[in-house]
Chain A
């Protein structure tokens, strides 16, 4: 009985959601032109496949996110070890970096890096975007990695030291592999955030998925069609990525 009630309630909920959606769709004094959307994905020219601007945008989004992911892991690793180092200056600098990044909005960081820092260092828009994103995600990865290292039992250190391993070998063979196994799910989650956060680089005129969407909207006024499609694109990229991550996680759990 309870179960059926839940089922009916949820059914009604979805029905209302769909009806509201349809009502909104029809009620809006808006001329839906879905047929104009397909050409922005791809079209055929003399029988050859030509990617449309949205697909190009997807590629730029993936490229920026991919490069930033690698860089952010490196930055995260370095700053995590800096925060655990015996030198107070390194600890202080890494702390400043992590706190500054974690306490300011990413949008502001992108603007500051593009309009304040990059003209001095003569960086292009693309590298500014990559640097901003990797510094941002790097600060979060740093905290994840640090907690992963701190959580490794002391006994592991002591055991490794007692058999006379040098510090570098302890890190490479003992600490980092264990840390990675512990933090991999969270670091993988960061890659999903990275793809979402990369939407903000459109504000500095990087032609990523969001920017291409904005450009099409400002040219054709297909506001809702394009924004729904862009949202769906992000959803499918991040959902696919989440799915792959879950598969890998399951396999790792299975092995150990």
Chain B
């Protein structure tokens, strides 16, 4: 009986830290100590949340991660003098995963949107992207404007939780959206001719159309949105925001970002790495 009570009390004391209030006095000091930048240096590792987006981040034929985002994150880790660790995460759950501390920062081609910004903080943009579209030659024959696709008989496949989903909702409110957890499944639907088009961040749709020229085509020559891409971090961390912002400024200045962008987005040299 006595033993039981001791166990109970011990169990309850374990819960005390959860309820203890934060002292307001040394708030600034404490913020600096609790910053992600501080934690990264203490652990000697930066944990980066990402998900497969060709060619932003993907596995090469030996299972190693490659891509634009991967290069950016590797460079960031090198400049901080720490190791980099990639945490692949389902895209539809990547923001909750950041909020619950599964990793330190999202470097995954994440578009800066007001909705997301209510939940997480974004750095300044290190890249700009836009929505583009690839369509099935037979199914979407003669389609050449956005309005052609905004029809209740049109099926459009997108990846769940992406800005492509939002753009598709906004530009094609009458079309049927088919949502998939992975981009490859959406593209598979298109290749099989079960949807009219796939909406996704440039340059992937163009690359995909180039791969299957007799089946697919790019109906719109221009991207129909333009969106800034930033790192996402948890709220309430001014130090990390400042650090990452200035790192991005530096990388813009040194031409690193431009060079990487040219390699991954404007050429297809990297395709030999993958297949």
Contact = CB atoms under 8 A, between A and B. Distances in A.
Please say whether the chains A and B touch (CB closer than 8 A).
yes
Interface of A: 5, 8-9, 12, 16, 19-20, 23, 26-30, 115, 119, 125, 203-205, 211, 214-215, 217-221, 223-224
Given A205-B178, A205-B180, A217-B93, A19 B15 contact: yes
A218 B92 contact: yes
A219 B96 CA distance: 12
Chain B interface extent, by class: 20 to 34
Contacts of A224: 96
A221 B119 contact: yes
Interface in B150-166: 157, 160-161, 165
A79 B147 CA distance: 51
15 contacts: A5-B1, A23-B15, A29-B99, A29-B235, A115-B192, A119-B194, A203-B181, A204-B180, A204-B185, A205-B157, A214-B92, A218-B160, A218-B165, A219-B115, A221-B95
Contacts of A27: 18
B255 interface: no
A178 B23 CA distance: 72
Contacts of A20: 15
A207 to B, nearest CB: 9
Closest 10 CB pairs of A and B: A218-B161, A23-B18, A223-B96, A218-B92, A119-B192, A205-B178, A27-B18, A12-B8, A221-B119, A218-B160
B144 interface: no
A72 B135 CA distance: 37
B208 to A, nearest CB: 17
Interface of B: 1, 4, 8, 11-12, 15, 18-19, 92-93, 95-96, 99-100, 115-116, 118-119, 157, 160-161, 165, 178-181, 185, 188, 192, 194, 234-236
Contacts of B8: 12, 16
Given A23-B19, A28-B100, A29-B99, A211 B11 contact: no
A4 B159 CA distance: 56
Given A16-B11, A224-B96, 11 more contacts: A12-B4, A19-B12, A19-B15, A23-B18, A204-B180, A215-B179, A217-B93, A218-B160, A220-B115, A221-B95, A223-B93
Contacts, number: 66
A115 B18 contact: no
B160 A214 contact: yes
